[in-house]
A and B are shown apart, each in its own frame.
Chain A
Amino acid sequence: DTGVSQNPRHKITKRGQNVTFRCDPISEHNRLYWYRQTLGQGPEFLTYFQNEAQLEKSRLLSDRFSAERPKGSFSTLEIQRTEQGDSAMYLCASSDRGTNYGYTFGSGTRLTVV
């Protein structure tokens, strides 16, 4: 297993378009997280799955954002009607233990909304 994989690495889209990102976690990890990072800031929590259940969502996750993890394996994050403020690095992470043991992050998907 080569770690957490995120696709695409980069995405440029026009304002108002919909985009979808994919995350493939480490195969034995049942926990999956999405974070967003903007320039000069640390990652900000978006949402958390344990297996296929979405257990926690941040207030940052507006109604234009939706995340799924069908069958508890890969996950997708969709942004509808993108806005320029959505431009950021979207990071996925997975773990098989508690948060205090640390997550394994992917390399992220950089979204640019023009």
Chain B
Amino acid sequence: DQQVKQNSPSLSVQEGRISILNCDYTNSMFDYFLWYKKYPAEGPTFLISISSIKDKNEDGRFTVFLNKSAKHLSLHIVPSQPGDSAVYFCAEETSGSRLTFGEGTQLTVNP
């Protein structure tokens, strides 16, 4: 049973605008949520995480928001750049050692 869902398989935005990537989860028992970015022919790269005791975490152009009542998190990228074009995965820490990933969203940033 899928615990983490990314319902948008793709997203296209213009350079300089905001990209918003969404993720829903079902199990609220766990402590951390993470976002990874993946370029073709490479492994996923860790971007940013958020603790379940927070509702926002920011790192440069990347901000993750957590809405616990809605069991929803989102990743905002501002401003978007063409180099941000990649597949983005959200993940939930479902034990002390494992991550459960969503299906991914392909972001395309157009120049």
Contact = CB atoms under 8 A, between A and B. Distances in A.
B111 interface: no
B49 A102 contact: yes
B96 interface: yes
Interface residues of B, number: 28
Contacts of A41: 101, 103-104
A84 B9 CA distance: 26
Interface in B13-47: 31-32, 34, 36, 41-47
A98 B63 CA distance: 21
Nearest to B100: A45
Interface in B43-65: 43-47, 49, 51
A56 B96 CA distance: 10
Contacts of A101: 46, 49
Interface of B: 4, 9, 31-32, 34, 36, 41-47, 49, 51, 89, 91, 93, 95-104
Contact of B97 (A40, A55, A91, A107): A55
A17 B51 CA distance: 44
Contacts of B93: 99-100
Given A40-B103, A42-B91, A43-B89, A102 B97 contact: no
